[in-house]
Chains A and B, each alone.
Chain A
Amino acid sequence: MIVARTGNEAMAEAMRQVNPDVVAAYPITPATEIVQIFSSFVHDGLVDTKFVAVESEHSAMSACIGAAAAGARVMTGTASQGLALMHEMLFIAAALRLPIVLCVVNRSLSAPINIHCDHSDTLASRDSGWIQIYTENSQEAYDSVIQAVKISERALLPVMVTIDGFIISHGMERIDILDDREVREYLGEPPKRPNLLDIDKPITMGPLDLQDYFFEHKRSEIEGMNTSLPHIEAVAREYKERFGRYYPVIDTYRIDDAEVAVMAMGSAAGTAKVVVDRMREKGKKVGLIRMRVVRPFPKNYLKELIQGFAAVGIMDRSDTLSTLGGHLYVETRAVLYRASHQPPIKNYIYGLGGRDISLEEIEEIFEEVLEIGKSGKVTEPVVYKGVRE
Chain B
Amino acid sequence: MPSLKELIKKQDLLSGGHRACAGCGATIIVRQVLLAAQYPVVVGASTGCLEVVTTIFPYTAWKVPFIHSAFENVAATIAGVETGYRALKEKGKIKEEIRFIAFGGDGGTYDIGLQALSGAIERGHRMLYICYNNQAYMNTGIQRSSATPYCAHTTTSPAGKVIPGKPQFRKDLTEIVIAHDIPYAAQASLAYWNDLTKKVQKALEVDGPSFINVLSVCPLGWGVPSDMTVEIARLAVETCFWPLYEYENGKYIINRKPREKKPIEEFLKKQNRFRHIFRHPDRDKIIARIQKEIDRRWERLLKRAG
Report A's interface with B, CB cutoff 8 A.
Answer: 21-22, 24, 48-50, 52-56, 58-60, 62-72, 74, 88-89, 92, 96, 196-199, 202-210, 213, 217
B80 adjacent to A208 (CB under 8 Å) = no
Contacts of A60 in B (CB 8 A): 76
Per the bound structure, the CA–CA distance linking A88 and B77 in Å amounts to 13
A207 adjacent to B56 (CB under 8 Å) = yes
Q: Which chain B residues in 91-150 approach chain A with CB under 8 Å?
A: 91, 93-94, 96, 98, 115-116, 118-120, 122-123
Q: Which of B23-31, B65-73, B235-243 participates in binding chain A?
A: B65-73
Minimum C-beta distance from B12 to chain A (A): 14
Interface string of B50-71 (1 = CB under 8 A from A): 0110011110101111111110
Contacts of B72 in A (CB 8 A): 58
| Residues of B in contact with A, size category | 35 or more
Contacts of A92 in B (CB 8 A): 69-70
Number of A-B contacts (CB under 8 A): 168
B83 at interface by CB-CB < 8 Å: yes
Minimum C-beta distance from B294 to chain A (A): 33
A62 adjacent to B56 (CB under 8 Å) = no
* Cβ-defined partner of A199 (8 Å) among B42, B83, B93: B42
A55 adjacent to B88 (CB under 8 Å) = no
Q: Given A202-B65, A203-B65, does the pair A55, B115 have CB atoms closer than 8 Å?
A: yes
Minimum C-beta distance from B249 to chain A (A): 25
Minimum C-beta distance from B4 to chain A (A): 26
Minimum C-beta distance from B13 to chain A (A): 9
Contacts of A89 in B (CB 8 A): 69-70, 73
Contacts of B64 in A (CB 8 A): 199, 202
Nearest B-chain residue to A92, judged by Cβ: B69
A207 adjacent to B116 (CB under 8 Å) = no
A204 adjacent to B66 (CB under 8 Å) = yes
Q: Given A69-B67, A92-B69, does the pair A204, B84 have CB atoms closer than 8 Å?
A: no
A50 adjacent to B66 (CB under 8 Å) = no
Per the bound structure, the CA–CA distance linking A131 and B115 in Å amounts to 29
Q: Given A197-B94, A210-B56, does the pair A50, B81 have CB atoms closer than 8 Å?
A: no
B91 adjacent to A62 (CB under 8 Å) = no
Minimum C-beta distance from B169 to chain A (A): 27
Contacts of B60 in A (CB 8 A): 204, 207
B214 at interface by CB-CB < 8 Å: no
B69 adjacent to A67 (CB under 8 Å) = no
B86 adjacent to A50 (CB under 8 Å) = yes
Q: Given A21-B88, A55-B119, A197-B85, does the pair A62, B80 have CB atoms closer than 8 Å?
A: yes
20 A-B residue pairs with CB within 8 Å: A21-B87, A48-B87, A48-B90, A55-B116, A55-B118, A58-B73, A62-B80, A66-B67, A66-B80, A68-B84, A70-B85, A72-B88, A196-B42, A196-B81, A197-B94, A199-B40, A202-B65, A204-B60, A204-B67, A205-B68
Contacts of A22 in B (CB 8 A): 80, 83-84, 87
A199 adjacent to B96 (CB under 8 Å) = yes
Contacts of B70 in A (CB 8 A): 62, 88-89, 92
Report B's interface with A, CB cutoff 8 A.
Answer: 40, 42, 44, 51-52, 55-58, 60, 62-70, 72-73, 75-88, 90-91, 93-94, 96, 98, 115-116, 118-120, 122-123
A66 adjacent to B79 (CB under 8 Å) = yes
Minimum C-beta distance from A134 to chain B (A): 27
Contacts of A198 in B (CB 8 A): 65
A71 adjacent to B52 (CB under 8 Å) = no
A70 adjacent to B40 (CB under 8 Å) = no
Minimum C-beta distance from A95 to chain B (A): 10
Contacts of B80 in A (CB 8 A): 22, 24, 52, 62-70, 74
Per the bound structure, the CA–CA distance linking A212 and B44 in Å amounts to 24
Per the bound structure, the CA–CA distance linking A196 and B69 in Å amounts to 13
Nearest A-chain residue to B93, judged by Cβ: A71
Contacts of A65 in B (CB 8 A): 69, 77, 80
A66 adjacent to B87 (CB under 8 Å) = no
Per the bound structure, the CA–CA distance linking A217 and B42 in Å amounts to 24
B77 adjacent to A208 (CB under 8 Å) = no
Nearest A-chain residue to B63, judged by Cβ: A202
Interface pairs A-B: 5 shortest CB-CB: A66-B80, A70-B84, A55-B119, A63-B80, A207-B55
Contacts of B57 in A (CB 8 A): 207-210, 213, 217
Q: Given A55-B116, A199-B40, A206-B67, does the pair A66, B84 have CB atoms closer than 8 Å?
A: yes
Per the bound structure, the CA–CA distance linking A24 and B113 in Å amounts to 18
B55 adjacent to A208 (CB under 8 Å) = yes
Nearest B-chain residue to A26, judged by Cβ: B119
* Cβ-defined partner of B84 (8 Å) among A53, A197, A205: A197
Minimum C-beta distance from A221 to chain B (A): 14
Nearest B-chain residue to A203, judged by Cβ: B65
Minimum C-beta distance from B86 to chain A (A): 6
A63 adjacent to B79 (CB under 8 Å) = yes
B58 adjacent to A63 (CB under 8 Å) = no
Contacts of B83 in A (CB 8 A): 22, 24, 50, 52, 63, 66-67, 72
* Cβ-defined partner of A56 (8 Å) among B81, B87, B119, B123: B119
